Amino acid sequence: MARTRRTKQRKRPRKPRTTGYRLWRWRQNPLRRSCDVVEAWIVLVTWTVTLLGGVLAGAVAAGMVDRSLEVRRAEVHAVPAVLTASAAPAPPSATGYDTGRSWATVRWTTRDGSVHTDQAQVEPGTAAGSRVTVWTNSTNRIVSPPLSPMESQLQAALTGAVVAPAAGALAWAGGRLIRARLIKRRLAEWDEEWKRVGPQWRKLSGGRG
């Protein structure tokens, strides 16, 4: 009869369970102290505020920006105006933000019949007497045109996307700072306890330790 060799299957080493280690502060344990429970609550509150608070702060910021832009759209209105003089054929060279438009004096009449003049940006080379559309506020001053509803929603979303992680990072940093101070205090308490227990331990161990 042919002999068959039996091969022993090696058991794979089990991975240590980390769940119990992570939750030991919440369980009844004779080694658990009040500072351990406080630290566990600090960690829980920190992550909760970091996640939920960041999302809430981003939503609030986006809503505030959207409402402010909506209010501005309601405060300004477009009016037809006439150029009193021809605009320059090309805008003067300047550094920084350049719209490629020229400044010219325009005149318009409000609903009550009063005539107003102001400086507005128009296409270069626009002839005198040409009709243009300008945006004015409640004081009959020319202002920049408001953002469209789509542009307002985009700006509000971008604002919320910036504020949310910033608020979350601030909450996380605050929690880390509080936890670091708690750990420092706990180490100081351990040091004080060892000063009391250390001499007794050395006597019981025969001078070793």
* pLDDT for the residue 5: 52
104, with CB counted inside 10 A (0-12, 13-18, 19+), is buried
Type of residue at 5: R
Alpha-carbon distance 93 to 89, whole Å?
Answer: 12
- From residue 85, alpha-carbon distances to 6, 81, 99, 124 in Å are 105, 12, 20, 12
Over the Cα atoms of the chain, what is R_g? Answer: 36
Q: Can you give the pLDDT of all 209 residues of the chain as single tens digits? A: 445 455 445 555 555 554 444 554 555 665 566 777 777 888 889 999 999 999 999 999 999 999 999 999 999 999 999 999 888 887 665 554 556 788 899 999 988 889 999 999 898 888 999 999 999 998 999 999 999 999 999 999 999 999 999 999 999 999 899 888 888 888 887 788 777 776 777 666 655 55
Phi, psi of 78, deg, nearest 5:
-85, 140
Per-residue pLDDT, 82:
95
Instruction: With beta carbons less than 8 A apart as the criterion, state whether 119 and 107 touch.
Output: no
- Helix then strand then coil, % of the chain, to nearest 5: 50, 15, 35
Give the Cα separation of 38 and 45 in Å (integer).
10
Contacts of 205 (CB under 8 A, 6+ apart): none
* Separation of CA 180 from chain center: 24
pLDDT at position 202 is 65
